[in-house]
Structure 1
Amino acid sequence: MAGSAPHVITFANEKGGTGKSTTAVHAAVALAAQGKRVAALDLDTRQRTFGRYLDNRLATVRRLGLELPMPAHDTFDPAKGESLEAALERASEDADFVIIDTPGRDDSHAREAIVRADTLVTPINDSFVDLDLIGEVDAETYRVRRPSFYAELVWNSRTQRAKTHGASVDWVVLRNRMQHIEARNMRRVGEAMNELSRRVGFRIIPGLGERVIYRELFPKGLTLLDLQAIGEVGLAHIAARQELREMIAGLALPEPGVARRAAAMAG
């Protein structure tokens, strides 16, 4: 894929319930709304939250005759005998960005997707429960004692990518559901996360808040960016869309031409 490889964004977290698939869908649609060619690949063949979300979206587009940004999407199924490498090659044929959503568990294909990522996004809820995935915190001081197993997995994956592909991985930890956390606890989580980011090497950006609207949009496959098209825009929705814009800006993704030149140089 040298010279024509898209920018691969892998959403990965072994803990469920962090808003990973919702965030991935909104990122995919936001990039498609910018005129980017986006391919989405769901690696969770059992739950298929990412794939079902986009299936619902396509059904809504056809049912209502709406013109909405629609990423191409597929679900990877190893039972069909296809390798992840082949699935990525197929998804990359006409894409500026490939967005991969991984299962919320340790999985060999999820590990492979982390190695293939140009941008690795790990959404976590803003709590010590979720932070424990990447770093152990002292119960008395709330200081980071040591990186946890997932941070070590990512570190090893980044090292492998550097050796095999000659490229680096931009690891982004996404802080979801921040506004409903008690202020002192939120500050402690933030301080521990900042300390850990310096030790392990990831960036921290704000994610999506805890809003009922995200659960309501799933059956129709819609996102915050589609509310105006269906005539549902309120003040809360405007604030939520601003969160989404800040999240996309925080990812600091390259323009497609830049991504392709970088891939060509790496190849």
Structure 2
Amino acid sequence: MTDPTVIVVGNEKGGAGKSTLAIHIACGLLHAGKTVSIIDLDLRQRSMAKFFANRAAWMAGNDQTLLMPFEPDLGDGKALARADEAEQLARFDAAFAEARAVADFILIDTPGGDTVLSRTAHGLADQIVTPMNDSFVDFDLLGHIDPVTLDLLKPSIYSESVWEARKHRAVTEGRAAAIDWIVVVNRMAVAAARNRQRLEERMEKLARRVGFRMGPGLRDRVIYRELFPFGLTVADLSNEIRPVQVSLAHVAARQELRNLMQALGLDGGSMNAPLDEAA
């Protein structure tokens, strides 16, 4: 078996939708026929782990079969968060080895902060996906701007940490461009705004300077949140699996997920199960 592709979803701010993005990428890959391992390093929240636990419970309660990833056991997340760095790294190394042995892809969700596990995961990444909200508040996680002119001043600490991860890969593995970094504007409002145009202009400049590419994110849709308790995504919906009333918005959200997968260079998969609004 060839080495799996490691995808790390990360930034150092909370509330940008990292877990939502990670969940949807994982399910998109599953629907593409890939074997997927997941590691949730947000040890206190464990949103991705909770999602797939909900999925298993929903299947059992509704006599349905859905695609599932493999999740190595990290133990009690809150206890591990209180452990020293040596123990955290040992547990992560063991989990990563398990994940690596069984999957085509390893999907790692990271916390909204700088931790030893997050830095280690970034150093292992083949692809880093960084979501940010449609706001200059979140732009600060990538670069600092002049408050008067909005000119780009310098990259942020997180941008520098990705650069360090790239340098580490280049030194240890001789792969100068091993990490593909994609920034997606997540939770966009549906309506366009002048602020977004200014934001995109600065992002394009920063992308050229620090070496990421831009991709489409997921809009701020109720659809993504309402399916979470069932452990489902829009990729899972069909005429047989529909715990909520399906509308045209669900169809649009599924296309949004396809666009995201394509921008990441990943197979959008089947996601073609019949989804008749009137069914």
Q: Same fold (TM over 0.5)?
A: yes
Q: Kindly tell me: are residues 127 and 243 of structure 1, through their superposed partners in 2, closer, same or farther at Cα, counting changes over 3 Å?
A: same
Superposed, which structure 2 residues align to 1:194-205 within 5 Å? 194-205=204-215
In structure 2, stretches of 5+ residues that fail to align are 268-279
Equivalent pair of 1:51/1:74 in contact (CA under 8 Å)? no
Query: For residue 236 of structure 1, what is the aligned residue in structure 2?
Result: 249
Query: For residue 61 of structure 2, what is the aligned residue in structure 1?
Result: 63
2:260 paired with 1:247: yes
Letter in 1 for 2:227: L
Query: For residue 138 of structure 1, what is the aligned residue in structure 2?
Result: 146
Equivalent pair of 1:151/1:200 in contact (CA under 8 Å)? yes
Query: For residue 117 of structure 2, what is the aligned residue in structure 1?
Result: 109
Superposed, which structure 2 residues align to 1:99-248 within 5 Å? 99-167=107-175, 168-180=178-190, 183-228=193-238, 229-231=240-242, 232-248=245-261
Letter in 2 for 1:250: A
Letter in 2 for 1:202: F
Identify the range of structure 1 (171-180 vs 31-40) with the bigger mean alpha-carbon deviation: 171-180
Q: 1:83, CA displacement in angstroms?
A: 3.4
Query: For residue 10 of structure 1, what is the aligned residue in structure 2?
Result: 8
Counterpart CA distance in 1 for 2:128 and 2:73 is: 19
Q: 1:104, CA displacement in angstroms?
A: 0.9
Counterpart CA distance in 1 for 2:28 and 2:119 is: 26
* Secondary structure in 2 matching 1:224: coil
Query: For residue 42 of structure 1, what is the aligned residue in structure 2?
Result: 40
Query: For residue 272 of structure 2, what is the aligned residue in structure 1?
Result: none
Q: 1:70, CA displacement in angstroms?
A: 1.2
Counterpart CA distance in 1 for 2:185 and 2:250 is: 19
Percent of pairs identical after alignment? 49
Letter in 2 for 1:15: K
* Secondary structure in 2 matching 1:92: helix
* Secondary structure in 2 matching 1:213: helix
Identify the range of structure 1 (87-96 vs 191-200) with the bigger mean alpha-carbon deviation: 87-96
* Secondary structure in 1 matching 2:108: strand
Q: 1:94, CA displacement in angstroms?
A: 1.2
Equivalent pair of 1:12/1:121 in contact (CA under 8 Å)? yes
Equivalent pair of 1:126/1:181 in contact (CA under 8 Å)? no
Q: Kindly tell me: are residues 204 and 36 of structure 1, through their superposed partners in 2, closer, same or farther at Cα, counting changes over 3 Å?
A: same
Equivalent pair of 1:174/1:206 in contact (CA under 8 Å)? yes
Identify the range of structure 1 (66-75 vs 133-142) with the bigger mean alpha-carbon deviation: 66-75
Q: 1:218, CA displacement in angstroms?
A: 1.3
CA RMSD between the two structures: 1.8
* Secondary structure in 1 matching 2:6: strand
Query: For residue 259 of structure 1, what is the aligned residue in structure 2?
Result: none
Q: 1:181, CA displacement in angstroms?
A: 6.0
Superposed, which structure 2 residues align to 1:76-115 within 5 Å? 76-77=74-75, 78=80, 79=83, 82-115=90-123
Q: 1:142, CA displacement in angstroms?
A: 2.0
Identify the range of structure 1 (40-49 vs 67-76) with the bigger mean alpha-carbon deviation: 67-76
- TM-score, length-normalised on structure 1? 0.89
> How many residue pairs align between the two structures?
253
Superposed CA offset, 1:207-247 (max 9, x none): 10001122211111111112224234310111111110000
Counterpart CA distance in 2 for 1:16 and 1:52 is: 17
In structure 1, stretches of 5+ residues that fail to align are 255-267
Q: 1:182, CA displacement in angstroms?
A: 5.1
Counterpart CA distance in 1 for 2:204 and 2:74 is: 35
Q: 1:95, CA displacement in angstroms?
A: 0.4
Letter in 2 for 1:23: L
Runs (4+) off by over 3 Å? 74-83, 179-182
- TM-score, length-normalised on structure 2? 0.86
Counterpart CA distance in 1 for 2:170 and 2:91 is: 22
Query: For residue 22 of structure 2, what is the aligned residue in structure 1?
Result: 24
Identify the range of structure 1 (195-204 vs 73-82) with the bigger mean alpha-carbon deviation: 73-82
Equivalent pair of 2:10/2:128 in contact (CA under 8 Å)? yes
Counterpart CA distance in 2 for 1:73 and 1:89 is: 12
